[in-house]
Amino acid sequence: MNRADSFGGSCPVPLGDQPCIKLAHGGGGRLMQQLIEEVFIAAFDNAVLRGGHDGAILDLQNGRTVVTTDSFVVRPLFFPGGDIGTLAINGTVNDLAMCGAKPLFLTSSFILEEGLEIETLWRVVQSMRKAADAAGVLIVTGDTKVVERGHGDGIYINTTGIGCVDHSLFVSPPRIATGDTILVSGDIGRHGMAVMGTREGLAFTTQIESDCAPLWSTVEALLEAGLEIHCLRDATRGGLCSVLNELAQDASLQFDVVENDVPVMPNVRGACEVLGLDVLQVACEGRFVAILPKNESVLALEILKAQNEFAAMIGHVSSAQAGLVTLQTPIGSQRILDMPAGELLPRIC
Amino acid sequence: MNRADSFGGSCPVPLGDQPCIKLAHGGGGRLMQQLIEEVFIAAFDNAVLRGGHDGAILDLQNGRTVVTTDSFVVRPLFFPGGDIGTLAINGTVNDLAMCGAKPLFLTSSFILEEGLEIETLWRVVQSMRKAADAAGVLIVTGDTKVVERGHGDGIYINTTGIGCVDHSLFVSPPRIATGDTILVSGDIGRHGMAVMGTREGLAFTTQIESDCAPLWSTVEALLEAGLEIHCLRDATRGGLCSVLNELAQDASLQFDVVENDVPVMPNVRGACEVLGLDVLQVACEGRFVAILPKNESVLALEILKAQNEFAAMIGHVSSAQAGLVTLQTPIGSQRILDMPAGELLPRIC
């Protein structure tokens, strides 16, 4: 109680010059990071929370249990390659997989808007069931709330996942080491562009399907090959750019990435160019970054390619400058790849 | 996949004559029950989910781990005796306690509205921290999403709780037996009236404070006394009336309740009368129903009264008619206490 009492009644951190919540506070970029650090972590501070990875490893009986939570507010609810239901399952399952945990159980909680068609909800719930089956998880409990017409967007979903770690690796940022290779599990940017294209009614993006998919089987294949995985992180909000910056910061190491080696589909690249978006900042929902020792990177790539032919090695880790991410551009120059502010693509998950 | 595939693409259950979600679908009454059974359980069907209590008991390693989830959309965010943050902690902690589980860990996920003042969020987060400390739980992971101005109500919160059962009782509806005594842990209806009064700006309700509080210590005291608790359920949405109907149905037994024995504060009763509300349908957030063998009821009441002087025995269980709840009115007649439809008090948690 001492700690709680010491907070007092007023907000000590006005988040710089931000008196109000902006869309960017949910955008996976710097502002969200600031909000989490200065408001939530400051208030909830404890050792498990400070672990700071995608999920919390709990000291339950024997074995390591991992729990992770995510709310989904994607707009529109349906997009090429998935819907909010697919996303709500895969997003949380993937957060568990990124901790090296086999996904076991999910909770699901709905905030529904008055006036939502039951048919729409039904379709979403079917997608959830199919995605849960495909990912091998059980949805074990849930909750439903309804808000008045105009106070929601049809459906918001929270899923919380529980998984178990049955190997001895601690897959987490502090394990990243100088000389490690950085790989990506497939072509990037499809999810964000699929949602964006549907939302804005952009004809030239209609062939772009979301990459939304469960990632545990790929992670399991890497683990079963006996690879010493140092870190995994799915490239969701803020895209590859956010993930690389987060991990470089958490590991206090420098990441050097070669832009030409980052796999991007031509239609995704074209759509990004037309819209003036940096594809490195566009969210995926079925792609992850894997970081492991250089001498294991060829085998790792082989395993990743068996699942997705566009998997690639995109860079390596050095000790030059803690927290820095550099990008070698196609013309050979090197630039700093900074953390995105988060305003780019709201409501994509 | 066979099960999922068999659902097909259209909604087989149009929920009677309800093509659209109504507020009542979140009201804790019959319509919500129907929605859960016909949409969610129908789609997600599995043995753990079908267990159907407030939380899911997971078969993790040794010991019994319980998980439960709840989203909070209360309006207004602040009310006498608490706020959405207090509620988000106590609501989930109490669902664990009602399973006989000691609350250990919580996840918290926020859906914030663009334009929300950081100060407001900060106050809510402080309340969460204080409530978590008071309940002895750690918030171990979280998530933040932001929706555009006008698409939320400032703050929606999901909390998911994990707890452990370290005794041999299975506290759940199937354990309820003929002859059992029904107790309530304190006076009812305060939370709903506190929120309602604030929302509607009703002067005569200003002295009514929410009963929002953690319940584990009370449950723990009952367990430590060695009582053979058959079932516990907190009287939240739909109030005492919903809880009694749910449990009578789940246990396939009849509950007979004496209206005069149900503790209600005079100001709460007065406010309900003015507004034409049935206090039995008004939500509490810190009161529960306990059902246990008659020969243990005196000791149980003594323990409950040590925490709240208004705790009372309110009725008993018989085998006359499965699923029926009867109410002996103050004038001595008996009436059926039916499940509320759920339209009464939206957005109270």
Q: Give chain B as a 3 state SS string.
A: CHHHHCCCCCCCCCCCCCCECCHHHHCCCHHHHHHHHHHHHHHHCCHHHHCCCCCEEECCCCCEEEEEEEEECCCCCEECCEEHHHHHHHHHHHHHHHCCCEEEEEEEEEEEECCCEHHHHHHHHHHHHHHHHHHCCEEEEEEEEEECCCCCCCEEEEEEEEEEECCCCCCCHHHCCCCCEEEECCCCCHHHHHHHHHHHCCHHHCCCCCCCCCCHHHHHHHHHCCCCCCEEEECCCCHHHHHHHHHHHHHCCEEEEEHHHCCCCHHHHHHHHHHCCCHHHCCCCCCEEEEECHHHHHHHHHHHHHHCCCCEEEEEEECCCCCCEEEECCCCCEEECCCCCCCCCCCCC
Q: Do A62 and B61 touch (CB under 8 A)?
A: yes
* C-beta separation of B114 from A23 below 8 A: yes
Which of B166, B196, B214 marks a domain boundary?
B166
* C-beta separation of A166 from A124 below 8 A: no
**B122: nearest CB among A11, A60, A123:** A11
CA distance B333 to B349: 34
B204 touches chain A (CB under 8 A): no
The pLDDT value recorded for residue A9 is: 44
Question: Are both A123 and A254 inside the same structural domain?
Answer: no
What's the gap between Cα A197 and its chain centre? 20
Window 75-114 of B: residues touching A by CB (8 A cutoff) are 104-105, 107-114
Question: Are both B194 and B179 inside the same structural domain?
Answer: yes
B2 touches chain A (CB under 8 A): no
The pLDDT value recorded for residue B202 is: 83
Q: Do B114 and A35 touch (CB under 8 A)?
A: no
pLDDT band at B237 (very low <50, low <70, confident <90, very high): confident
Q: Which residue of A has its CA nearest to B343?
A: A146
The pLDDT value recorded for residue B26 is: 63
Q: Which residue of A has its CA nearest to B107?
A: A69
The closest of A224, A173, A164 to A52, measured between CA atoms, is A173
Across residues B311-333, what is the average pLDDT? 96
A128 touches chain B (CB under 8 A): yes
What pLDDT tens digit does each residue of chain A (349 aa) get?
233 333 334 454 455 566 666 666 765 566 767 777 776 777 667 676 666 555 565 656 556 788 899 999 999 999 999 999 999 999 999 999 999 999 988 998 999 898 888 788 888 888 998 999 999 998 888 888 888 888 888 899 999 999 988 888 989 899 999 999 999 999 999 999 999 999 888 877 668 999 999 999 999 999 999 999 999 999 998 899 999 998 999 899 999 999 999 999 999 999 999 989 999 999 999 999 999 999 999 999 999 999 999 999 999 999 999 999 999 999 999 999 988 776 667 788 8
B220 touches chain A (CB under 8 A): no
Q: State which residues form the domain around B146.
A: 59-166
**What is the interface size between A and B, counted as CB pairs within 8 Å?**
327
A39 touches chain B (CB under 8 A): yes
- Kindly state whether residue B26 falls inside one of the protein's structural domains: no
The pLDDT value recorded for residue B119 is: 81
B56 touches chain A (CB under 8 A): yes
Which of B151, B166, B181 marks a domain boundary?
B166
pLDDT band at B37 (very low <50, low <70, confident <90, very high): confident
**B112: nearest CB among A21, A126, A158:** A21
Question: Are both B118 and B215 inside the same structural domain?
Answer: no
The pLDDT value recorded for residue B149 is: 84
* C-beta separation of B243 from B289 below 8 A: yes
**A118: nearest CB among B3, B19, B32:** B19
**B119: nearest CB among A11, A46, A111:** A11
CA B140 to each of CA A46, A141, B18, B95: distance values in angstroms, whole numbers, following the listed order: 8, 19, 39, 18
The pLDDT value recorded for residue A30 is: 67
Q: Looking at the predicted structure, is the pLDDT value of residue B21 above 90?
A: no
Across chain B, mean pLDDT equals: 86
A252 — alpha (psi -120 to 50), left (phi > 0) or beta? left
CA distance A114 to A146: 6
HEC profile of chain A: CHHHHCCCCCCCCCCCCCCECCHHHHCCCHHHHHHHHHHHHHHHCCHHHHCCCCCEEECCCCCEEEEEEEEECCCCCEECCEEHHHHHHHHHHHHHHHCCCEEEEEEEEEEEECCCEHHHHHHHHHHHHHHHHHHCCEEEEEEEEEECCCCCCCEEEEEEEEEEECCCCCCCHHHCCCCCEEEECCCCCHHHHHHHHHHHCCHHHCCCCCCCCCCHHHHHHHHHCCCCCCEEEECCCCHHHHHHHHHHHHHCCEEEEEHHHCCCCHHHHHHHHHHCCCHHHCCCCCCEEEEECHHHHHHHHHHHHHHCCCCEEEEEEECCCCCCEEEECCCCCEEECCCCCCCCCCCCC
- Highest mean pLDDT out of B13-27, B147-161, B216-230: B216-230
CA distance B33 to B16: 13
Question: Are both B162 and B177 inside the same structural domain?
Answer: no
CA distance B227 to B224: 8
Q: Do A160 and B40 touch (CB under 8 A)?
A: no
Contacts of B141 in chain A (CB under 8 A): 48-49, 54-56, 67-69
Question: Are both B249 and B108 inside the same structural domain?
Answer: no
Beta bridge partners, B10, equal none
| Shortest Cα–Cα distance, A259 to chain B (Å) | 29
**A49: nearest CB among B70, B139, B146:** B139
Q: Report the CATH number that the domain containing residue B253 is assigned in CATH.
A: 3.90.650.10
pLDDT digits (tens, 9 = 90+) for B183-196: 999 999 999 999 98
| Shortest Cα–Cα distance, A139 to chain B (Å) | 6
Beta bridge partners, B288, equal B234
* Percent of chain B scoring above 70 in pLDDT: 83
Q: Computed from CA positions of residues B270, B271, B277, B282, in that sequence, does the dihedral angle turn out positive or negative?
A: negative
| Shortest Cα–Cα distance, B332 to chain A (Å) | 37
The closest of B125, B139, B76, B135 to B286, measured between CA atoms, is B135
Question: Are both B204 and B292 inside the same structural domain?
Answer: yes
B16 touches chain A (CB under 8 A): no
Question: Are both A198 and A215 inside the same structural domain?
Answer: yes
The region of weakest confidence among A242-246, B57-61, B259-263 is B57-61
Q: Looking at the predicted structure, is the pLDDT value of residue B261 above 50?
A: yes
Contacts of B4 in chain A (CB under 8 A): 126, 129-130, 133
pLDDT digits (tens, 9 = 90+) for B153-186: 889 999 999 998 888 898 989 999 999 999 999 9
The HSE-up count of residue A290 (CA atoms within 13 Å, CB side) is 35
CA distance B228 to B225: 9
Q: Do B125 and A40 touch (CB under 8 A)?
A: yes
Question: Are both A222 and A266 inside the same structural domain?
Answer: yes
CA distance A221 to A218: 5
Question: Are both A192 and A162 inside the same structural domain?
Answer: no
Question: Are both A183 and A139 inside the same structural domain?
Answer: no
The pLDDT value recorded for residue B43 is: 65
Question: Are both A157 and A22 inside the same structural domain?
Answer: no
- Kindly state whether residue B261 falls inside one of the protein's structural domains: yes
- Kindly state whether residue A347 falls inside one of the protein's structural domains: no
Q: Do A144 and B32 touch (CB under 8 A)?
A: yes
Which of B137, B166, B195 marks a domain boundary?
B166
The pLDDT value recorded for residue A49 is: 64
| Shortest Cα–Cα distance, A136 to chain B (Å) | 10
* C-beta separation of B196 from B274 below 8 A: no
Q: Report the CATH number that the domain containing residue A138 is assigned in CATH.
A: 3.30.1330.10
The pLDDT value recorded for residue B24 is: 65
- Kindly state whether residue B31 falls inside one of the protein's structural domains: no
Instruction: Annotate A117-152 with b (16+ C-beta within 10 A) or e (fewer).
Output: ebebbbbbbbbbbbbbbbbebbbbbbbbbbbeeebb
pLDDT digits (tens, 9 = 90+) for B265-312: 999 999 999 989 999 999 999 999 999 999 999 999 999 999 999 999
- Kindly state whether residue A341 falls inside one of the protein's structural domains: no
Q: Do B67 and A156 touch (CB under 8 A)?
A: no
Question: Are both B206 and B151 inside the same structural domain?
Answer: no
Q: Looking at the predicted structure, is the pLDDT value of residue B9 above 60?
A: no
The pLDDT value recorded for residue B48 is: 62
Q: Which residue of A has its CA nearest to B106?
A: A67
What's the number of domains chain B is made of? 2
Task: Look up the ipTM and state it.
Answer: 0.88
